[in-house]
Structure 1
Amino acid sequence: MKIAMIGASGFVGTRLINLLKEEPAKYTCSNIDLQPSHFFNEITTIGDVRSQEQMDRELKGADVVILLAAQHRDDVSPVSLYYDTNVGGMEVTLKAMEKNGIHRIIFFSSVAVYGLNKKNPDENHPADPFNHYGKSKWQAEEVLQKWYESHPDWNINIIRPTVIFGERNRGNVYNLLKQISSGKFLMVGKGENKKSMAYVGNIVAFVKYMIDNITEGYNVFNYIDKPDNNMNQLVAHVSKVLNKHIPATHFPYWLGMTGGYCFDLLAKITGKKLTVSSVRVKKFCATTEFDATKVHTCGFKAPYTLDEGLARTLEFEFVHPRPDDITFKSE
């Protein structure tokens, strides 16, 4: 089976290629990305998902397309890049697939399509994205919905993961774990807000499961590793894994947001991208709990528990020295 990935030089794509290459007799992988791959450059072609001519050429002969390419950071400028890549790239990909007779696509969307502070939304919950990333991901899904109406023989699988973490990732979860493990952690709010998370080892295992088992129809899956931890429980788990006492000072929400706005102003004045912002404080304090009943009752069994994923990440990043400094930046 020939698997054509678009945007797989990053964190999730690298782990997915690594998993599929464990069975070379079953899968042949290719990758089209704006950036070279740290580990799989021999199968990577430098390309742009927005280029129709290039996608028409590079997808030739594929059996399944996995679309990971996206603008995803909080601070992308101009904001039109979210829509050019996340929506326009979808339109280009579908046209290239049709030209090449490919009828199967797996698309990485996001739980960001639901918006903030929703009460455990499942896949049927109305979309209500609050930022350009979420809005552009939802618009890309709408393109897929419309496409399926005129292509009912296609197999379209959409995965909406929550925040993904794991070894080598440099995103919000890594920054949070680093702050907690440093012992200089400042808790904004009471720490009772729950944080849905997904370990990268489980995400890629589910994608492989979809390739092999979910081969018909239009399907949407939230992906979250359960059960969810609240912030206080997360701090306690980090303390247990690292075997160290980690104090957590609680600051009221209004004070945290005031600090976030101050960092916004500083970033605007200096022109630098800072690790603290009002958007990130808001996201930190939000409850991000999502229903994952569908994915965990479809026959898929995650190879790791959430706590095992956290422990593997903590040990890789903060306990055992690594032979290289290769990392992946994300949100």
Structure 2
Amino acid sequence: MKIAMIGASGFIGTRILELLCKESAKYDCKNIDLAPSLSFNNITTIGDVRNQHQMDSELHGFDLVVLLAAQHRDDVTPTQLYYDTNIGGMEVTLNAMEKNGIKRIIFFSSVAIYGLNKDCPNENSPADPFNHYGKSKWQAEQLLAKWHKSHPDWNINIIRPTVVFGEYNRGNVYNLLKQISSGRFLMIGKGNNKKSMAYVGNIAAFVKYIIENITTGYNVFNYVDKPDINMNQLVSIISQTLDKHIPAIHAPYRLAMLMGYCIDAFAKLTNRKTTISSARIKKFCATTEFNSDKAHSSGFNAPYNLNEGLMRTIKHEFKTQSSN
């Protein structure tokens, strides 16, 4: 099977390629990305998902597309880039697939389409995105749904992962784990807000499962590794894994949000990006639980449970630092 990965030079895409390329007799993979791949540059072509002519050429001869390319940071400017890439890139990809006779796509969307503080939404829950990332992902999904109505013979699979963590990740979860493991951590609020999380090793395995087993129809899957844990439990897991006491200091939510707004104003005045913002504080304190029964009842068996994924990540990233 010839698989075109679009935007797979990053954290999640690299793990998917690691899994698929182990079976080179079964899968022939290619990566198309704006950035080179540290691990798979030999199968990577520098390309832009927004370029129709280029995508028409790059997708020639493939059987399936895995679309990961996206603008996803909280602070992308101008905000139109979210829509140009996340929606425009989808439209370009679908047109290129049609021109090349490709009828299977796996699209990485996000649970961000549901919005904040929802009551454990499942795939049928209404969309209510609160930021440009979530809005653009939802509009990309709507484009796929409309496309499927006129292309009912296509196999379209949408994965809405929750926050993803794992070895070599340098995103928001890594920054949070690093801050907690340092012992210089301030818990905002009571710490009882639960967080749905997903280990990257399980996400990669789920993609492989879909490729091999879910080959017809239009399907949408939330992906979460259960059971959910709250922030206090996360601190406890890190403390136990590193065998290190981590002080539990709590700050009132309202005071933290006021500080966040001040940092936002500073960032706007100085045109600088900051690691703390009101949006990130709001996300940190939100309860973000999502229902993932559909994925886990599909026949897929996750190779790791959530605690195993967290411990593998913490040991890999911070155990050496902690022992020095």
Give TM-score scaled by structure 2 length. 0.98
1:170 pairs with 2:184: no
Determine whether 1:131 maps to 2:131: yes
2: CA distance between counterparts of 1:189 and 1:81?
33
Matches within 5 A, 1:179-218: 179-218=179-218
Counterparts of 1:240 and 1:78, CA distance in 2: 42
Residue equivalent to 1:51: 51
Seq. identity, % = 74
Deviation for aligned residue 1:266: 1.5
Residue-by-residue CA offset, 1:241-297 (whole Å, 9 max, x unaligned) = 111111121111101101111111121122211100000000000000000100111
Letter of the aligned partner of 1:12 in structure 2? I
Residue equivalent to 1:67: 67
For 2:193, give the aligned amino acid.
N
Partners of 1:215 and 1:176 in 2: how far apart?
Answer: 37
Q: Is the deviation greater in 262-271 or in 180-189?
A: 262-271
Runs of 4+ in 1 over 3 A off after TM superposition: none
1:182-232 Cα shifts (integer Å, max 9, x gaps): 111100011010011100000000000000000000000000000000011
Please give the root-mean-square deviation of Cα atoms over the aligned residues, in Å. Answer: 0.7
Cα offset for 1:97?
Answer: 0.3
Distance of 1:168 and 1:18 partners within structure 2: 13
1:274 aligns with 2:274: yes
User: 1-side partners of 2:105 and 2:238: how far apart?
Assistant: 37
1:317 & 1:269 partners in 2: Cα distance?
35
Residue 22 (str. 1) matches residue 22 (str. 2) = yes
Instruction: Tell me how far apart the structure 2 counterparts of residues 195 and 134 of structure 1 sit (CA, whole Å).
Output: 18
Q: Structure 1 length normalisation: TM-score?
A: 0.96
Deviation at 1:172, TM superposition (A): 1.1
Which residue identity does 1:127 align to in structure 2? A
Q: Which residue of 2 aligns with 1:240?
A: 240
Aligned to 2:307: 307
Alignment of 1:122 with 2:155, yes or no, is: no
The one-character-per-residue Cα deviations of 1:155-199 (angstroms, maximum 9, x if unpaired) are: 000000001011111111111111111111100011010011100
Distance between the aligned counterparts of 2:283 and 2:138, measured in 1? 19
SS of residue matched to 1:239: helix
- Distance in structure 2 (CA, Å) of the matches to 1:161 and 1:263: 29
> Are residues 1:298 and 2:284 paired?
no
The one-letter amino acid of 1:247's match is P
TM-fit CA distance, 1:11 = 0.6
> Secondary structure, in 3 states, of the residue corresponding to 1:170?
coil
Q: d(CA) in 2 for partners of 1:320 and 1:210?
A: 36
Aligned length: 321
Partner of 1:231: 231
Aligned match of 1:39: 39
Give the secondary structure class of the aligned counterpart of 1:250.
strand
